[in-house]
Chains A and B, each alone.
Chain A
Amino acid sequence: MIRALLVLAVIFSGLAAVLTRGRDSLADVLRTTTVSDLTNGLFAKHVDKAIFNAVPRSSALEGIVTGLEYRVLGDAGPLVRAGCGDWLYTIEELRAERHDRDNMALRAELLRRLTRAIRLAGSRLVIVPVPDKAEQVEAELCGVTAVQSRLRDQFWNELDHLEGAFVVDLRNDWPKPGYWKTDTHWDQIGAHFAARQIAKAVTRTLGPGQDAVRLVDRSIRQRSGDLARLAGLTEAPRSLAPAPEQEREVKLEVSRSGGLLDDTPEPEIILAGSSFSLNSGFVEYLQASLSREVAQISQPGGGFAGALLETLDKRAGSLENVKAVIWEWPMRSLVFPPSDAEKNFMRRTR
């Protein structure tokens, strides 16, 4: 009898939590449900989510278990590969998929068409493929080699010359490691190096910039890496998780000579990148290296060409006065399956 009661206590306490903590969200779901939601499974999806959120869970316990799994087994979950010495890598850089070659071929074509589209819009395109962290910090991978990164490199090297575009090869002289330990992005040294290399390429075509921009280093803060978050290690006790890293906040000061109504002209360079362009002070370093202001339109999770395609799609007119478009994308995105925006662009430009 006691045994049965024990189990019933678990499920009925869960029910009580669902009915008390999830009452409002469940009521919302019921209020907004349509007939089509019932037939296409959306209703169930919404209720499942409301119930999931209502069931109490202990993030401290989750953190302990995740931390133990990491420390004892060296396991950082299905999305993150744990290397040596608390180095974490996104599994995206290391895995192989059946359709990798097809996706790369598609992107090669996409590259050509985007290059042509930017050229027709009257701008110069500066292409910046960001090397894989797995390739640049391969020594810390522990038992795994960056074979997939090299395959992507090989593909990129064999790609025909892209007429009308400048390619900045960051692999040469990369300041290793140049990446955060617990984050997929370049660290400030890597970001600064990338900014200088890009600035050299841009300056060669547009000439030196004239804006009075100045970098100001500010306080040091702790940085919790995205890979540590993805592995659930930010909830783990300190002794079980990788140590947080230190990041110096970077700020850019621009001395504008605009008039009363701030009639400074719009920047002539835009940065249409991925989350790399939004991390580690990259855009600030870039502007300082260029001595020019840069319009930042990069997108987190933009992948290969998310930001660039959105600009071409929705703000094509804004390219009229732009002299150069810096298009940064991670090398690993070469093998991503095409996004809806990419498919649409390929259809439109057939």
Chain B
Amino acid sequence: MTHGPAQVRAALAEAHRAEWGVVFGTIVRLTGDWELAEDCAQEAFTRALPAWEREGVPRRPGAWLVTAARHRAVDVLRRRTTERAKLAEVAALRADHEPQPVEDERLRLIFTCCHPALPLESRVALTLRAVGGLTTREIARAFLTGEDTVSQRILRAKRKIAAAAIPYRVPLPGARAERLHGVLAVIYLIFNEGYAPSEGSTTRDALAEEAIRLARLVTAEAPGEPEARGLLALLLLQHSRRAARIGADGELVTLEHQDRTRWDHALVTEGVDLARRAATAGGPYALQAAVAAQHALAPTAALTDWRTIVELYDRLLALRSNPVVALNRAVAVGMRDGPQAQLDAVDELGAPRQLAGNHAVPAVRADALRRLGRLTEAAQSYRAAQAIAPNGAIAREYARQLAALGEPGSTDARPAGRTADHTQSDA
């Protein structure tokens, strides 16, 4: 069956999203050469377009691409004359008789790219490049860094993998739980950069979607890991609110004021279901997902089950003391027990190092003070929050809060929100 050019292009784009990691990973496994694997994967996708237009989209695009990439690898290795190339060539040829593609290729790739001996920023860049198939330009754009910086990071990571002999495999069961944590942290980091960029635009959905895709991969290929499921649930629930988080004026809308009909209910359903199944194991991602699920299940902000949310935060804090979680718990306590309880809970936190310079601390304090009617102090705290807001959208939100208190500096008369969309920073 032949396809029109548009269909072929769509099929190829889908194959790129779904199969890049498999194609790339297979060549890495066979030859141990990351440079070669990248060239060959690239070449296979380039050749696919004319071939598929001519012969139709293959039934198993992944297998077609792996075969094309492998042939290319053998060609390149034949032209090289070193002994190592000969050995690699034999390995690549022998694989002709193996069933392929190997199921856990991408999992192996994710674990190698997220190896803890690599610098964190290299892990992120390498994972997006090798597993997600993003170009260095796309990665640079997403992280607002130079293309040169990204290629340097990837190059350095590939060099270290080769020089220090970082193995290409999924760790043995004993070490797996430990390493999985690092993998999930990298995926979460990628998501957060898409969900709440450190600067510039308010969201970058493509990056958030890539993180969700990676989380799906890990969940599907490591089904016995409740924390992987917990992370996926958390990401789906946060991503389900993307349309409602940005108002008509392009500003961030807090959870309390979001139009819940604009949430992506398919993602909410999937996320809540996953969160339920992960919750029994009670790991940190599963518990955060359970908090997000509580918000998702509340028909209105006012009907949120704050009692359960406070309990979930208590369980999170019992796992590991974390000032960001403690701050979010203070907000939940405030919603359950009123503004004085919120103020007490914030002041109880003291000034932990990890919260130094965090705009949410004065903001949560300001919110409690405003609700207590201590408006001058509230304004003071909002000004402090505004001064250290990480991006323009958040700074404008605080300007609005100040305006609602009758402070000058904004023409927006929208009522003040109570809380920031706080679940995203529970890392």
Determine if chain A interacts with chain B.
no
